[in-house]
Structure 1
Amino acid sequence: MPHLINRIPATLSDNDHPYLTGAWTPNFDEYDADDMQVIGKIPDDIDGIYVRNTENPVHDAIGRYHPFDGDGMLHMIRFSEGKAEYKNRFVRTRGFEAEQEAGRSLWIGCMGNPKKSERHGWGAHSHIKDSSSTDVVVHAGNILSTFWQCGEGYRLDPQTLDTLGIDGWVPLDGISAHPKVDPATGELLFFNYSTHAPYMHYGVVGPDNKLKHHIPVELPGPRLPHDMCFSPNYSILNDFPMFWPQAALDAGFYIPVFDKNMPSRFAVIPRYGKPEDIKWFEAESTYVLHFMNAYEEGDELVMDGYFQEDPRPAPLKSVADEYQAMASNLDLHSLKTHLHRWRFNLATGQTIEERLYDEEIVEFGTINQAYAGQKHRYVYSVTGEDGYFLFTGMIKHDLETGATQQFEFGEGRYGSEAPFIARKNATSEDDGYLVTFITDMNLDRSECVLLDAKNIEAGPVCQIILPHRICSGTHAVWANADELSPSVQTA
């Protein structure tokens, strides 16, 4: 049964902001729930947790609100022996606690003038609050929640969702969202970026949660990297022509521009390499939010990700005037995203690029994480609603045959990034499930949905009705029970 654990005091006003209403309506209640209504049958051949990060602003913004400003909240569902338990908790960041004490927002959002922040916080970009609302991974037995503008990184207990605090190894400039966990070694690979030289750092944290490696990565100026990739022997960072102009920074404004006449650059670093070991590769001008995977093939390092045809699209006319610029930069159709492949020849320094599929507007993909760093065959991407940052369905790409399968969530139903779960004793790369939270605006509820990864077109294996309608979100992670701290492993 659902149990209301806590109701966070909120001062958010009612308004018509497209990312504070509808499927983006914030949550302030924290629940524990078991014995939930189930449509279908929960598989008994999976054991672990699905965790999704969402943005839930508790107080009115000082300036214009952007959905990436909202306070981080984790939603977790635990599967074991054909049963499921759910809970959700805010990430108790230092910024969240300070604003709870003040009863109002203290930091400007990412679209505002930093001079209007009442407080300055921590990390490389202290003019905005580290809301820990962007990405989530599991490393060294615990959940790690991160922020896109290089926050502190917060650990949470995977049984209780209690915020455990900040790791002592986190560098002064923080860590970006999208650190990567290598399943073969248990290592966490991370980067950060800042507005001061050398503008980027790269590091490795061991499976014991201790910093093993940390080096500067010199860039020509401040950049806005969002993701990275790795293979067994290399890490791949990026220098895209998306950046804050120095003149704007000097005036106190963080307004990114995209220069289509500049190439994209990729830094290939041996996992424990030194700055002088970095090899730079040039490629077609673009911006990439998310990469899928990388692997080594002879002299080549092969990397897949989501290429943007139009990284700075024109304002989106289908929304209200004041939101048009923001909406276009959140709209997959405006950005024209598609699956793309880069091949970096480590012997010759040559880059070869290939568009993998022509017809789909896709992003936020996942793979079977057992193949991270290895050659993979299947990618599971989301499709987006035209005009809004909402996910309307899934596409499975078979990179070997070119075949695709598609599943639409349905009118008024919006999902989240859907990690792959391998069945116990799986016999193939796609032998398992995809898991997602879906917000259903028609029935005013949310549910956890499992799809058969071999046949997503068949529709849900099961639907687990959550105790409340949850806010739409972005990133998510699956972790098997044996990856978690001992308190939540199956006995």
Structure 2
Amino acid sequence: MYEVDDTLFISVPAEDETDNPWLKGPWRPQGKEYAVSGEHLQIIGKVPDDLNGIYIRNSHNNATMPTGIYHPFDGDGMLQAVRFDDGKIEYRNKFVRTTGFLAEQGAKKALWPGLLQPNDYQRRGWGSMGVMKDNAGTDVIAHAGHLIASMSQGSEPWCLSPTTLETFGVNRKWAQLVPDGVASHYKVDNETGDMIFFNYPEKAPFMHYGVVNREDNLVHYVPIELPGARWPHDLGMTKNYSILHDLPYFYDPELLKTGARKLEFHHDIPSRFGIIPRFGRSEDVKWFESKPCWVMHLANCYEDGDWVVQDGCIWDNPVKAPVGQTANVYEKIARGLDKQSTNTHMYRWMFNMVTGEVKEFVLDDEVTEFPIVSNDYIGRSYRYSYNSIFKTRDWVMDGIKRYDLLTNEAVRYEYGPGRYGSEVCVAMKDGFTGEDDAYVITLVNDMVQDRSECLIFEAADLAAGPVCTIILPERISAGTHACWVEGDRIDGENRVLTGAPWEIGVN
């Protein structure tokens, strides 16, 4: 099988025709859609026989010439998928056919403004601001036999086939019940099949929290009262609780009343983390205060006796390109994305559910982000986090760093000059016996050889480099988030857990 569709309307400028760095180089959009089986792909090494499932990565892959300032998170969602089945492989990529994408394909031009010019909107939109094109380009996860793709601020729950990447449309069972959509970083409990999610509109109560069960029914959806409009990005999940974020990085409330949106980090306001029983209500939330910060991505959360532990990448110094300002705009975008400027690094928060005590401390001071653990350990005691290393002064991933939270040791693998990775996924081997009895998978852009690769690593020997490299048919665009769909979860929530072999405990 080798299929390619290049009939889509693609109107982005050629790399030598634009000065926007987010439409060229590693961010050059991909215009073709492929479906290619293994016999048509170059494979270096051997595809493991005990690797079964699908690695799927999302990206903002712009299809039309933007109307104004293009931010790299404005582009249309495109999924890249590599399926592994008893040593056989298949590669596919496909745009997410959102309403916005189809409207612009029909009009053959951009119809919505970008993230930095929300007040220029002329049509109904989505996201927490309610004016953005729903591009579904940030996150992707599997639940109840389908994929859900969304953009970070919140969008309709776009459902797709994990095997063909066909867009089915918005979720027919519960999309209409969540008019403010779903924000990125919904999470699935592989033990129960529950999926938790949240959204954060600019109107009161400013947040909602919900649970969808393994049969894909919305079984819980409640308002969460916050002091005002906020800008959270992630939420945590343990066996019994969810962790909601109310952080001091939000729009100036007085300017927001006038329609102007200016993100500010309020150094004098503490961070608040709200721990709610999985099926709790706003009045059940227990709030804990900690030092002012912002958190983009969590590694994992779990319970240890009376303690709830939250590990993730803390931002000590959030910076963002001011909305509406155009002077040196590309430099401002780059500064807001630069992980060295925001000083993002691994951190631990501990909340005592009995005494209310809070402990917090640094786990590592090296700049890393996009922390990932195995799906089977999300919400449970765990040992390893796989983080992306970022190139200095650039939003591209240089390599992988694996943290061993039991021994406090770390190993790393760097992709090499001109090679930039994607968010990694951890794929447990068939019949795995321990947390590192797994593979680590990512997609890499090689700017020197002008190609993209899928790399497969032994999780227990990351530093040794990939055991298998699959050359993709075309160099793809830099991406956002990825997910791993286990072979027994492709058709639904059929996973059976074997129990965590390590208990980390508190420090």
Q: Work out which of the residue numbers 307, 310, 313 in structure 1 matches 2:314.
A: 307
Correspondence for 1:195: 202
Correspondence for 1:8: 8
Q: 1:124 offset after TM fit, Å?
A: 4.5
Deviations 1:90-128 (A, max 9, x none): 0000011111111111111111142x2231234643311
The letter of the residue matching 2:44 is: I
Deviations 1:108-149 (A, max 9, x none): 1111142x2231234643311110000000000111101111
Cα distance in 2 for residues equivalent to 1:438 and 1:33? 18
Q: Work out which of the residue numbers 276, 283, 287 in structure 2 matches 1:280.
A: 287
Correspondence for 2:501: none
C-alpha contact 2:439 2:457 (8 A) present in aligned 1: yes
Correspondence for 1:63: 68
Deviations 1:36-55 (A, max 9, x none): 10011110101110000011
Q: 1:416 offset after TM fit, Å?
A: 0.4
Q: 1:458 offset after TM fit, Å?
A: 0.3
Cα distance in 2 for residues equivalent to 1:474 and 1:5? 23
Q: Please state whether the residue corresponding to 1:55 is helix, strand or coil.
A: coil
- Give yes or no for the alignment of 1:215 onto 2:205: no
Q: Please state whether the residue corresponding to 2:59 is helix, strand or coil.
A: strand
Deviations 1:230-284 (A, max 9, x none): 1111000000011112332233233211111110001100001122111000011
Q: Where does structure 1 differ by over 4 angstroms across 4 or more consecutive aligned residues?
A: none
Q: Work out which of the residue numbers 179, 186, 189 in structure 2 matches 1:179.
A: 186
Sort the Cα spacing of 1:379 and 1:187 in 2 relative to 1 into closer, same or farther, 3 A: same
Q: Please state whether the residue corresponding to 1:19 is helix, strand or coil.
A: helix
Q: Map 1:83-232; keep pairs closer than 5 Å.
A: 83-114=88-119, 116-122=120-126, 124-167=128-171, 168-170=173-175, 171-232=178-239
Cα distance in 2 for residues equivalent to 1:154 and 1:370? 24
Q: Map 1:426-441; keep pairs closer than 5 Å.
A: 426-441=432-447
Q: Work out which of the residue numbers 28, 45, 52 in structure 2 matches 1:40.
A: 45
Sort the Cα spacing of 1:444 and 1:160 in 2 relative to 1 into closer, same or farther, 3 A: same
Cα distance in 1 for residues equivalent to 2:11 and 2:165? 24
Cα distance in 2 for residues equivalent to 1:384 and 1:7? 35
Q: 1:83 offset after TM fit, Å?
A: 1.5
Q: Please state whether the residue corresponding to 2:332 is helix, strand or coil.
A: helix
Cα distance in 1 for residues equivalent to 2:230 and 2:110? 27
C-alpha contact 1:240 1:287 (8 A) present in aligned 2: yes
Q: 1:332 offset after TM fit, Å?
A: 1.1
The letter of the residue matching 1:261 is: D
Q: Please state whether the residue corresponding to 1:420 is helix, strand or coil.
A: strand
Correspondence for 2:240: 233
Q: 1:10 offset after TM fit, Å?
A: 1.5
- Give yes or no for the alignment of 1:78 onto 2:90: no
- Give yes or no for the alignment of 1:387 onto 2:390: no
The letter of the residue matching 1:140 is: A
Cα distance in 2 for residues equivalent to 1:100 and 1:284? 46
Cα distance in 1 for residues equivalent to 2:247 and 2:283? 20
Correspondence for 2:416: 410
Q: 1:371 offset after TM fit, Å?
A: 1.1
Cα distance in 1 for residues equivalent to 2:118 and 2:277? 39
Cα distance in 2 for residues equivalent to 1:226 and 1:57? 22
C-alpha contact 2:118 2:132 (8 A) present in aligned 1: no
Q: 1:331 offset after TM fit, Å?
A: 1.1
The letter of the residue matching 1:474 is: T
Cα distance in 2 for residues equivalent to 1:30 and 1:42? 23
Correspondence for 2:22: 19
The letter of the residue matching 2:109 is: R
Cα distance in 1 for residues equivalent to 2:305 and 2:163? 43
The letter of the residue matching 1:4 is: V
Cα distance in 1 for residues equivalent to 2:481 and 2:137? 9
Q: 1:314 offset after TM fit, Å?
A: 9.4
C-alpha contact 2:348 2:361 (8 A) present in aligned 1: yes
Deviations 1:443-478 (A, max 9, x none): 111010001110111001110000110001110001
Q: Please state whether the residue corresponding to 2:300 is helix, strand or coil.
A: strand
**Runs of at least 5 residues in structure 1 that lack an aligned partner in the other structure:** none
Cα distance in 1 for residues equivalent to 2:3 and 2:33? 9
C-alpha contact 1:11 1:59 (8 A) present in aligned 2: yes
C-alpha contact 1:78 1:85 (8 A) present in aligned 2: yes
